[in-house]
Each structure stands twice: as structure tokens, then as C-alpha cells.
Amino acid sequence: MSRYRGPRFKKIRRLGALPGLTTKNPKAGNDLRNQLHLGKKSQYRIRLEEKQKLRFHYGLTEQQLLKYVHIAGKAKGSTGQVLLQLLEMRLDNILFRLGIASTIPQARQLVNHRHILVNGGIVDIPSYRCKPRDIITVRDEQKSKSLVQNYLDSSSHEELPKHLTLHPFQYKGSVNEILDSKWVNLKINELLVVEYYSRQT
């Protein structure tokens, strides 16, 4: 299944706010209307919707998300928490969290177009897994800096998570540590996502 390129507002009306996908928010009352029309949801549907929220927020294909679930399942610790840590440490998501891009698709585009350096080298793979002490900078070219400046100016300047530091005037950010998954500010139950995939096999 390819990456979703359809109408984004349609997804947030059905699934709720997805800050990684779009800066728009669903109108109040949409959840209530959905419940009135659909009645009681089955357990399968609840798990499916949690999986869809995770997939669309991080902009993943079905295969990519399945791969991350397998990796998380083999790691030590809670599969759900490890899954969130893996997704949050992706380069495109780090740029989004730093405010260098206002959505994850914008961050992915910056990476694909070679505007971003990690530890001084160009990285053009959005799924690149960042590590503690990584230094992320914007390429020292006018086009790259003006693009990022637009995003920084328009970002909502939410409080940065403790695992990241931003130096906006230097167009630079750093990864301090592995993210504490408790910080992830998403209304997603990652355990239901793990359950969804465990029942598919």
C-alpha cells in the first residue's frame, strides 16, 4: 500500500487530530456525529482506528509500520513503548518536533531535497534513525535556510520535548537522549496497535 496522498481533512474528521499529517484540527462535534451515525464500535474497529492514527500521523506505509512493529517486538521492554520510540527517533519526525517543519510530510520533503545535514553529512533518507548526540543542521545555502525560516516563523512554538534542543538562529538542533515515550503527545493507544498486528498473524 502506498503512502497516503489523498485529502487530509477527511482523515482527521474520521480519526481526530493528527498533527504530523496536517496543521488543521477537526471541528468540535465531529466525534459525536460519528458516534451517532456508527453506533457501538467493534473491538476490531477500535484497534484498526488506533493503527490508522499512528500510520497517518507518522506518514508511513502499511509495510513500514509492520516492519517497525516487528523490530519493536524483538527489542527489550514494552513493545508499544519501543514502537513509539522508534517512530519518534526518525529524522523526519525529529525535524517536525524541532519546529523546522510544520508537518511530517514537509519534513520529509526537506530531507528528500537534501536540505538537511546530520553530523555534518547530507542525509536524504527521511526514515534515518537518529541517535543521542546527533547534531541536525540546515544546509548552509540561502534556499535551504529561507525554506526553514518560513517554517520556524509559522510554527506554533510548542514546548520542545526534553530529548531535543533547538538553536533557531544557527538553524541547528540536537538529540540529547532517547525519547521517554510518556512524552509523546498523541491520543493513541499504542498497545491496541500492537494487538491489531498480533491478531493478524
Question: 2 in a domain, yes or no?
Answer: no
For the ranges 12-16, 129-133, 144-148, the lowest mean pLDDT is seen at: 12-16
**Tens digits of residue pLDDT in 9-44:** 555 555 656 655 655 555 544 444 444 445 577 888
CA distance 137 to 167: 9
Question: 3 in a domain, yes or no?
Answer: no
Q: b/e per residue, 84-102, with b = 16+ CB within 10 A? A: bbbbbbbbbbbbbbbbbbb
Mean per-residue pLDDT, 137-148: 89
Q: Which residue has the higher pLDDT, 152 or 100?
A: 100
Task: State the pTM of this model.
Answer: 0.81
Question: 96 in a domain, yes or no?
Answer: yes
Q: Which residue has the higher pLDDT, 9 or 198?
A: 198
Domain with residue 20: its CATH number is: 1.10.1050.10
Q: Is the pLDDT of residue 150 over 90?
A: no
Domain residues for 112? Answer: 90-178
Mean per-residue pLDDT, 89-94: 94
Are residues 36 and 72 located together in one domain of the fold?
A: yes
Domain with residue 167: its CATH number is: 3.10.290.10
Q: Which pLDDT band holds residue 183 (cuts at 50, 70, 90)?
A: low
Three cell numbers, residue 44 = 476490531
Q: Is the pLDDT of residue 91 over 80?
A: yes
Question: 196 in a domain, yes or no?
Answer: yes
Are residues 63 and 39 located together in one domain of the fold?
A: yes
Question: 140 in a domain, yes or no?
Answer: yes
Pairing of strands 164-167, 172-175: antiparallel
User: What is the count of structural domains for the chain?
Assistant: 2
**Tens digits of residue pLDDT in 154-163:** 766 567 788 8
